[in-house]
Each structure stands twice: as C-alpha cells, then as structure tokens.
Structure 1
Amino acid sequence: MAYWLMKSEPDTFSISDLERLGQAPWDGVRNYQARNFMRDMQPGDQFLFYHSSCQPPGIAGIGRIIGEPYPDRTAIDPDSPYYDPKASIENLPWTAVDVAFERKFPTLLTLTELRSLNGLEGLALLQRGSRLSVMPVTEQQWQIVLGAA
C-alpha cells in the first residue's frame, strides 16, 4: 500500500463533500508530475485530503483509492472547467481515480501545525515552491500526521 496527499479547494470539493457522497472521481488534475503520481495509485492506497487555497489550509481527513487510474474524460468536455482543448478521445493525456471517504479529522491539521512537526521536513508539501496537487507521502510521514491529528 502507498500513501498520498491530494489537494482540493474546499469550496470546489471538500472532505465533507466526499463524506456526503461516500465516493467520487478525483479528476481535473492538469499537471504532468501530479498526473504521473496518479498513474502509480492502486486500489487500497490511502491519501491525506488537504484543503488548499483557503484560510487556513490544512489536512482535513483521509480518503482511499478504490479503483485503477483511468483517462480523465473531463478533458474533452467543453462544458467542464477542466476542459483541455488539446485533448481528444484518441489522446486523453490526463488521469482520474475513484476515491472513497475514510474519515474526517476532529479539527483541521493546519499547514502551520504541519511545519512544526518533527520528521516532516522532507514532506513535499512543505518544500519551498511545491505546488503539486498530488504527491507521495512516506509511511513515516503518514504515521506522524496521523499521530498529530
């Protein structure tokens, strides 16, 4: 099993939305490195659900990958905010995965709190200039975050 951190803006899709739905596609990722990480995901992998572009940003809970990665068809939907005019049915460069709700943390584990935790210095989220919406998390980092939550 692998661990991940996946970012979403809570006014677009939050941990509460995933809890209400139970499961949903995770689509709309338009960064090649993040897409490549998604292609490595396997059913059963878990992820930290990170609320970004909000005040305060932080980890809101845990989700689980429930299916194999597949082509993200929002790229060819002109009505989708994730439409990619370079994509076509024959060439779908983007990836989506289906995810399920696992649990919500009692309180948001803020970015400031994450920065103060020993052992998370190597977490990609905390690296200067890191803007990826999907990134791997080591088992040690996972355990530190769960302990703090």
Structure 2
Amino acid sequence: MGSVYGACAKLIEGLGPAGRGAMYSSVSFIGTSGLTKNLGAQAAGIGISQVMPYPWRPSTPLLARFQQAMDTIGAEFSYGALEGFVNGLVVLHGLRECRNDLTWSNFIAALEGARKLDLQGYVLRFGAGIHAGSDFVDMTVI
C-alpha cells in the first residue's frame, strides 16, 4: 500500500484483516501509529518498512534524547515524531554551520560539507548532490 493511514485503513476494512487470505505491507509514509489507532486489532500482521529506528526503546543516545524531549512536552513516541526530531537536528546543524551568513545555498553547502553527521546512534551522510542523508530501512510487523 502506498497511501496515508486513513485510505489504507478503509481498504483493509473492506477486504478484511491480514491473515484471512490477504497480506498487507506499506512504506513508512503510511503513518504506523495512525494506522494502528484507526484499525485496532485489524492492524495485526501488517508489514511496514521504517526509515527510523524503533522509537520506543532507548537503545542509543539519540533515542534516549528523543524520548526525554517527548516526555518533556507530553507527546507520544512514534516513528513520525522521531523522523521530525531527526530532521530538526539536521536543520539546527545546518543553521549553526551557516552562522551569520544564512542563505539557501550556504545552508545546502553546510549540510553537504558535513559528509557524515553522527546524531549519536543514527548516522546521516551528505555530499555534493547527496541529500537523502540515510539509507536506513527496518521492517516491522504490527
């Protein structure tokens, strides 16, 4: 499935849960937390590729820092929240590197110049024309 959780949930509700003649899988864009809240027990067995590590276990300093930040503001852990947290750290890195000379081209140059940005347990790699940052993929099954 390649859509957001609301549309995918309607499809699954119409076709029946995984394991009853159907197998479902999706990419992380679906919104794992929203899908499981929307479908409840019907979400069991759905496979989802994730581009972030498992956010509920503080297995790295980055994940511990993420969980502490989320606890501070009373927000739920999720793959999407972790991805936003990582994106925020990347933006902050670029801004710091630009110092007082912030332009779009300087910002891009700052990130490309980072080459390897270690966020204490999640490494991003940038370079000339290399802007994806990560090739991390993990498979989860609800």
Interval of TM-score (by shorter of Structure 1 and Structure 2): under 0.3
TM-score, length of structure 2 as denominator length: 0.22
Q: Which structure shows the higher helix fraction?
A: 2
Q: Name the structure, 1 or 2, with higher relative contact order (CA <8 Å, separation 6+).
A: 1
TM-score, length of structure 1 as denominator length: 0.21
Q: Which structure shows the higher strand fraction?
A: 1
